[in-house]
Amino acid sequence: MICEEIHKAISALAVNYAADQICVLIDEKVADRAASILDPQWPTLSLAVSEQKKSLETVQQIWDFLFAHGITRRGLLICIGGGILTDLGGFAAATYKRGIDYINVPTTLLAMIDASTGGKTGINYGGLKNSIGCFAPPIETLIWTGWLETLPTKEVLSGFGEMLKMGLIVNDLWGALLRYDLDTMPIDSLQPLIAQCVEEKERIVAADPKEEGLRKILNFGHTFGHALEEKSMDAHARSGIEPLDHGYAVVYGLIAELYLSVTKLGCPKEPLQQLTHLMLHYYGKPNCKCSDREALIALMQQDKKNERTAQINCTLIQNIGSPLINQVITSEEANEALEYLFSL
Ligand SMILES: NC(=O)c1ccc[n+]([C@@H]2O[C@H](COP(=O)([O-])OP(=O)(O)OC[C@H]3O[C@@H](n4cnc5c(N)ncnc54)[C@H](O)[C@@H]3O)[C@@H](O)[C@H]2O)c1
């Protein structure tokens, strides 16, 4: 889809709403490029995003913006940005006057292949990632890969991290991801792999929209990944060190959870070796400021994915394309997996 098609798609959806009932929420980094696809009459709130700003205060700011422009329950919010913006915008839309329609226009790789579809919305709260939120799918997600031309390499790698996760839990994707050379291949050549990831996610979500079973396979890498991300957010607040990007945390989480897949479920070692190679080549080692194993285990015990507290629950894989949900991990096993990750 080219940008002109996004313009047409937004305009076609907008005709279903009164002109004074449409608002735009946009990541400030794409605001200039997006101007041509938006009606200048639509009120626009431009935000600088960060995990720290994925907060209740920002949601209040969005609610205030919607109230200030007299948006009723028949309004529409157009969310244009990365996963932080679409998670925030979706949550604000889902809770404003008990829910208004919203459209996602993802502008990062991660948001295209993951965050903008599936209906999970939310914010960080109490030092925990996405701990407040709800399921509320957008009425449409409009993907245009041209946005990626301005995306910094670090953010491309972050999105690629979630693609690697998808490659490990479904069939027929891992080999293509291993062959994809991010150093030399033009970003638009990712297009077929993006389409495949979106298709797989839509298939999984359609079968289990509320994450009661199958959808939990998408959490592979995230029990450890979220703990690492939360620890890095805490270290950032205390000493200003650069926090981990979500997709980097997922890659490190995948290494730990692949290690457990090998030791607990007999998964072949090859995917772990292949991912370790990719990690060292593209992502580097996890920051030692996040390596307090006791604190990480405590965070995992509080993770919202765990139905009972003090129990660590993970998705693991028996092989590529064969995930197993609800695997209980002891703190000793978690400690061993972290020791492995930090020894690389
Ligand atoms: N809802 C879900 O199902 C789901 C799934 C996965 C991840 N997430 C969430 O997504 C978030 C991460 O999303 P993300 O990686 O997109 O991060 P992000 O939204 O922070 O975007 C990354 C950076 O890129 C900038 N940016 C956005 N588009 C750009 C463009 N086209 N050109 C240049 N810069 C651009 C942003 O301003 C930001 O600095 C996390 O909070 C994670 O929890 C949600």
Query: Which domain CATH number covers 299?
Result: 1.20.1090.10
* pLDDT digits 0-9 by tens, 202-224: 999 999 999 999 999 999 999 99
Rounded to whole angstroms, the Cα distance separating 83 from 91 reads 12
* pLDDT digits 0-9 by tens, 75-88: 999 999 999 999 99
Percent of the chain with pLDDT over 70: 96
Strands 322-329 and 312-319: antiparallel
Residue 308, pLDDT score: 56
Task: Find the range with the poorest average confidence among 2-6, 48-52, 298-302.
Answer: 2-6
**Mean pLDDT for the stretch of residues 149-153:** 95
pTM score, whole prediction: 0.94
Are the C-beta atoms of 59 and 123 separated by less than 8 Å?
Answer: yes
**Mean pLDDT for the stretch of residues 187-214:** 95
**Mean pLDDT for the stretch of residues 295-321:** 84
Atom 44 in ligand 1: which residue has the minimum CA distance?
Answer: 115
Residue 309, pLDDT score: 58
Q: Which residues approach ligand 1 with their CB closer than 6 A?
A: 27, 29-30, 49, 51, 54, 81-85, 87, 107-108, 110-111, 114-115, 118, 120, 129-130, 147, 150-151, 155, 158, 246
* Highest mean pLDDT pick, 4-13, 85-94, 282-291: 85-94
Same domain? 26 vs 72: yes
Q: How far is the CA of 318 from the centre of ligand 1 (A)?
A: 30
Mutation to probe ligand 1, out of 53, 91, 107, 108 (largest number of atoms < 8 A from CB): 108
Element (H, E) at 329: strand 322-329
Are the C-beta atoms of 121 and 79 separated by less than 8 Å?
Answer: no
> Using 50, 70 and 90 to split pLDDT, how confident is the model at 258?
very high
* pLDDT digits 0-9 by tens, 284-300: 998 766 678 999 999 99
Same domain? 195 vs 328: yes
Same domain? 176 vs 139: no
Residue 172 phi/psi, 5° resolution? 70, 25
Q: How far is the CA of 330 from the centre of ligand 1 (A)?
A: 32
Ligand 1 atom nearest to 54, measured from its CA: 41
Residue 49 phi/psi, 5° resolution? -105, 150
Mutation to probe ligand 1, out of 6, 110, 219 (largest number of atoms < 8 A from CB): 110
Same domain? 184 vs 304: yes
Does residue 241 carry a pLDDT above 90?
A: no
Residue 292, pLDDT score: 87
Which of 110, 135, 151 lies at the terminal end of a domain, its last residue? 151
Ligand 1 atom nearest to 159, measured from its CA: 15
> Residue 54: which CATH number?
3.40.50.1970
Which of 151, 169, 190 lies at the terminal end of a domain, its last residue? 151
Same domain? 161 vs 147: no
Buried-exposed string 27-44: b where 16+ CB fall within 10 A, e elsewhere: bebbbebbeebbeeebeb
Same domain? 211 vs 338: yes
Rounded to whole angstroms, the Cα distance separating 253 from 114 reads 17
Rounded to whole angstroms, the Cα distance separating 241 from 234 reads 10
Residue 290, pLDDT score: 67
**Average pLDDT over the chain, rounded to an integer:** 94
Residue 264, pLDDT score: 97
Residue 109, pLDDT score: 97
Same domain? 233 vs 273: yes
Same domain? 85 vs 106: yes
Same domain? 73 vs 183: no
Task: Find the range with the poorest average confidence among 38-47, 89-98, 124-133.
Answer: 124-133
Same domain? 181 vs 289: yes
Of residues 2 and 246, more confidently modeled: 246
Question: For the chain, how many helices (H) and strands (E)?
Answer: 13, 9
Residue 288, pLDDT score: 63
CA distances from 21 to 14, 17, 68 (A): 9, 6, 12
> Using 50, 70 and 90 to split pLDDT, how confident is the model at 188?
confident
Task: Find the range with the poorest average confidence among 61-65, 100-104, 228-232, 303-307.
Answer: 303-307
Are the C-beta atoms of 282 and 157 separated by less than 8 Å?
Answer: yes
Same domain? 123 vs 217: no
Q: How far is the CA of 190 from the centre of ligand 1 (A)?
A: 17
Domain containing 97: what range? Answer: 3-151
Rounded to whole angstroms, the Cα distance separating 190 from 176 reads 10
Structural domain count of the chain? 2
